[in-house]
Each structure stands twice: as C-alpha cells, then as structure tokens.
Structure 1
Amino acid sequence: MNSGMIRLKQKNSLAVLLYTASLTLVVACGSGPSPADNSIDRLKAEKSKFQDSIRMIEAQIMALDTSDNMVYPKVTLFETTPLNFEHYFSVQGHLESEQNVLLIPEVGGIVKSLNVKEGELVKKGQIIATFDASMVAANIKELEEQIELASYNFNKQKSLFDQGVGTEFNLKQAEAQLNTLLKTKQTLNTQAGKSNLIAPFEGYIEELIPVVGEMSMPGMPVARLINLDNVYVTADISEVYLSKMKKDNFASVSFSALNMTVDSLSVSNVGKFVNPANRTIKVRVKLPQNNKFIPNLVATLRIRDYMRDSAIAVPSSTITQNAEGSEIVFTAASSGDHFVVSSAPVKTGMTYNGMTEIIEGLNAGDQVIVKGSQSVFDGLEVEELTNQ
C-alpha cells in the first residue's frame, strides 16, 4: 500500500470521528435541562462533561493521525563504488600433452620381447621392445667372410702394384670392392641396432599393442608413450573474439571430472589461422604439472576479454526502460528518515555474473534501488529495508 492510500484512509477516519463528535454534542444539548432548571452549578457540570468527551475524541484523533509517522514502501539499496570490472567468455576444450607419441619401429620383424608394462614410467633411452634380428645377423656373418676375402685380394693387388707387376686398375677395383662390402656391413649393423625400440623421452607407457611372438610390420605402432610434465588445454574459439585476444590474456580452466578449477593462468598461444569450416581459431593455455592432467580430458576454458579499472557496476536486475525505451535505473536520495525516488538515464556496457557496467549516468556513492525497483516512480518516498 502506497503513502497516498494510507493518507486517504486516515482522512476518512478523522472525518468519521469529527462527525460522531458533532452528533454527540447535538444530542447532548438536545437532552439537557430546561431553561427553568438551569443553574450555574448545573451548567458548569454539563460543560465539564462536554469537555471530557471532547478530550477523549481529540485523543482518539491524535492516535489515528499518523501524518508525522508515515509508513513508506520498503526497498533495498545498492551503493555504487568504483571496482575492477572484468568480462570473461567460456568455451569447451580438451587437454593435450606436448609429448604424446606412438612408438613405431623403423624395421619390422617378430616381437622377441616386451621389456615394459602398461602404466610403467620409463626413462629416456630405455629399451621398450626387441625384434628378431637373426636374419640380419646371418647376413652380417656372411658379409664378414666376403670382407675377409676382399681384404686379402686388396692387399695382394697392392703388393703386386708396389713390385711393379700389378696394374693400377686391378688395385683400384680391389679397393672399391672392399669399401663397398664395408659400407654394406655398416648398414646392416645399423639395421641390427634398430631391432631394439628405444624410448625417445621419459614418460608413461599407456598402451602396448603387439604381443611377444607377433609379427610387427614396418610402420605398425608398438606402444604409446606419454609425458605429463608439459600439458596444456586447447580450444577453438569464434573469430569474433580475435580483436580481443592476445597472448597473456588472463584465463582459468575447470575440469568437471576432477571437480577442480585452476586459476591465475594465461593464454600461451593464439592461432594464426582461421578454420574456414567453422570460422574458429585455436588458443592454448599451458597448465602446471599434475599427474591427474591426462590427455583428452574435457575442460572448460574461461578467458578474460575485457577489463576496466575503477568502473561503476550495478546489479543487472536494477536496469529497466522508460516509456521512450531508454535504459534507466532508479536511485534514492536521502530526505530525513526516508528517501525520495528519481530515475537516472544510463549508458550500459558489458554484463558479467549478474553485474552490468555503467559507462555514463551514475557516480560513486549513488544509492540504486534493487528490490522494489519495478514498482517505484519519480517522487515516491520510500524507506530502506535493512533486515532481509
């Protein structure tokens, strides 16, 4: 009930009491003594009686007259203070590792041994698997016999040449044959060394694909090796954010599966290519080391794309529109023990987490009406609701 209705009811009550008092006086006078019976003492007694009735009526009038103790509509107030206003956008991404590879042998062969187990932490240079190299070893042994014969032939031709008996052509031919066999042996030794699959870096064996005794063809993966020291979250964001994106933008990452949020991060890389299929660019946020951060874990990436120091912001629910469609807020100016409402045209900025930045129209210290803002108007007198 507004103050106008309260005043109207009070005036109606006062009118009824005044009418009752007048009627009482008329009836009392009409039923008084006749002039013949009048005496000074009786008149004084009647006067006193009437005065008591009047005092009683006046007391009732004073009790009902609350014009000095009005009941005002109650509202809640929000005092504007300068603050650092930030805006973020969120996007789904996933976790990746800088070192997450499939180990593929350069040469095929029968798997002779698997020297690790799934989930095992291996060191750089550790042998993961070995392959049967018996055929290569046999080729090397056969080649060594040919090298021995070629070496004897070369030495013989050199001796003849030194004695002036042999020809230079025969010497060069023997030398070339020996060198060719030596290079072939070197190649076979290299090939034999590739029968061992070596870990290129420290990490965890995530998966072993073949079993011992199985034929592994060239190009077939044997194991997956993952290092969790250097991990990051990557996501595709719309190109509309490109003008606001730069390296070192503040960010945070949430993992619903881990019930964990990592704050105080920054964008480590912004892509230099727009995907023509969905008009997105890739961004990357590097994460601290944590063994729970494993590849392909779903993450929510929150990136700050706007910040303003000493901004004025109000609850978004306080912003409404006037008859012309312009945005306004209702403010309350102190007037004794109550407040007087007035509307303030405002120019709004970004909105985040239920707060809207006010670019123009409000100053620090203004009292903005929050609860009750939809039922107030200019000039209305209101009271602050302190106990909610």
Structure 2
Amino acid sequence: MKKALSAGVSIAALTSVAFAANSLDSNPNYVKLKNFKPNPAVTNEQCLMCHKAQDPGIVADWQHSKHAKAGVGCVQCHVVPKDYPTAFKAHPMQGKNWTVQIAVSSVTCAKCHAKEVTEYLNSGHARGAAQWLASNMGKHGFLMSKLAYNYENMKGKHPSLNGYSAKKMAAGIRKDNSVFASNQNNPRQADLGVANICVQCHGTTVKLDSQGRPDAATWPSDGIATLYPDGGVGNCLACHSRHKFSAAEARQPAACSNCHLGPDHPDKEIFESSVHGHIFDTNEKDYNFETGKQIPGKTLRAATCFTCHMSGINGLKATHNVSLRLKWNLWAPKSFLRTKGAETAGWAFWSHGGKIIPGKTILRGNPKAGNPQGPEAARAR
C-alpha cells in the first residue's frame, strides 16, 4: 500500500490542455443562457426581500462568499428564460421573458467558469452518473446494477432494477433470496437505498414536474456527475458546497473522501494511513487552501489529494480534469493504462442539450480517459 501511495503522490501537475473536438457552445441551452438578458431587469435585492427570512442560512453562506464580493448573486445563477428546460413556471416573481430555476446545473456555472467546466467534462468525473445509468439492459449497465444491488445490499424487486427480477440480480452472488427481496413491497425504502448508495456520489438524472419543480427522488443530488434537463453534467457543489462555493473548502481532503472510500476504491483509507495523511491530520495549521498554487514549505507540508490531482505546483497550472495526471486505472479487478485521452460521456449528454437517448447521450463513457499525450506523459508531469 505504501509503495502504491508513494507512486501516486509523485505525479505532478499538468498545464491545461485545449480540446478542440468539444465545445461548450455545442449545447444550445448554454448559448441561450450565455446571451440572455432579463426583461425587465431584476436585482439580487429583490430576491433577498423574501429569502433573508425564509432561508437565512443560504443567504448567510452567499454573503460570506467570493461571489457576493464580486456582485454575483441570485439573479446570475437562478434567473433563466421562461422557455428554459429547468424553468420554474410557478415561481411568484417573474418578468416578461424570465422566471427562476431551482435546479442549477454546470451550464449556468460555465457562463463564468468556462475553463473549469470544460476541463471537468474532459475528466473521468463527468461519466459518474452516465456510467451506471447507461443502457442498464446492456451488459455493462447490468453488471454495475448487479454489483450495487448485491455488494451494497440494495434489495427488492423494484423499477430501478430495469425489468430484472431480484432472483436474477442475486444469481451467483447471494443465496438469501427472501432477504434480498425484503423491500420489493417497499419502493420508498428501495429508493432511499439508491439515493444513499449510488446517487450521492455518482449522481442521477434530475427529473422535473410540469411546473419545473424537481422530483425529490432525484434532487437535490450532490453526485459528481448528475445529469440535468438543460444538458448540464455534474454538480460543482459536490466539492464547492452551496451557496458559499468555497474553493478552499473544495481543496480539503474531506471534499474527495466523501466518495473516494471503501473497498472498491479505498483512497481515503490509504491517504489517512500514510505519512502524508498523518502530517495533514496533525498539522492542519501548516496548510493554506486559499490558493490553488501549492508551494512546499509555505502553503503545505505534505501532499494532499488536491496537490497531486488538481493543484498548481512547480509553476504548472491547476486543472479540474482529475484524469490528466493518472497513468493507471486502478479500481477495476485488473488495472489498465489510461490511453484514451478525454472523457466522452459528459460531452455526449452536454452536446445534445439534455436529451435522454440510451446509447447515444447516456453512455458508459471512457474508463481509460487520461492524458491526451498518453499515460507516460501523465506520469512525467
């Protein structure tokens, strides 16, 4: 374990790479939102008249954010055209051409953070939801569902089994069929199992009612690659919690260890049992996460997840593509080199503006996503 860790943390940063094949403008909703101007104009103060009393915690988080200091508030993130896919048609405050969206996706974030969203879409993070939702009637999707419903103890004959019986899902792994099917008459419990075991990390497909209210079974979701009706992929808030969206908070190891733990990818446990983890846990005062530029001896004493996978270090640039610095894919039963460059699943959904077409916009993605120059280049950086 120590040998594997020392190899992993020796990976240094990589300069940002432009991927000409994919463009944010390929999503028509992004283009619409980027060029949209509310009529009549609406201000953040109008929103705060109600939300200061109704949601004081949310408002306080925003007031302490860099967004607030820069003048970015409710309007910039929540006001959308009335015909926008996530428009909340029943909101009490509307204009001639605008209303409010409740479920805010990375399409909105990309208006200001185009570089970061582009890098994210090229990363393995972007396939998180599509990977386990894609074509579950196909071989790969079935195996991922089978793993979840057995290994993670999700039980019952339930619609999310995609037509498979509990008996078939249990075949070859479980022999306690009566226990396995214990929730088949309790779909709410089965839904909670899906939410707690899959959705909270991978994400899911957000569904809205006819008025644009999000379905409580699919939203809010902090999954890294939740799929939204406007073609948005991913939750920036998975790492930058709403509504403060703190970069310093997202650089903490805890932001990664929310999901990267357990027997299938024990990254949290490996880090915490390493010298790097011990130094961090006992000397947090020696770390400055307010900057993305990491300087050994000044902003940090030893490597963290962020240092190796995302930070700017030794003059190199920070990145939101967490696959760029990875030589190996280690989570599968047999490790393999990352030889396929940019991820594909996120762009497929993004470029089709949120249309749900299994096998076309909901793809398994590219498990070998890595550095476009190859795995040796990733390690060299």
Common fold: TM-score over 0.5: no
> What TM-score, normalized by structure 2, do the two folds share?
0.17
Higher helix share: 2
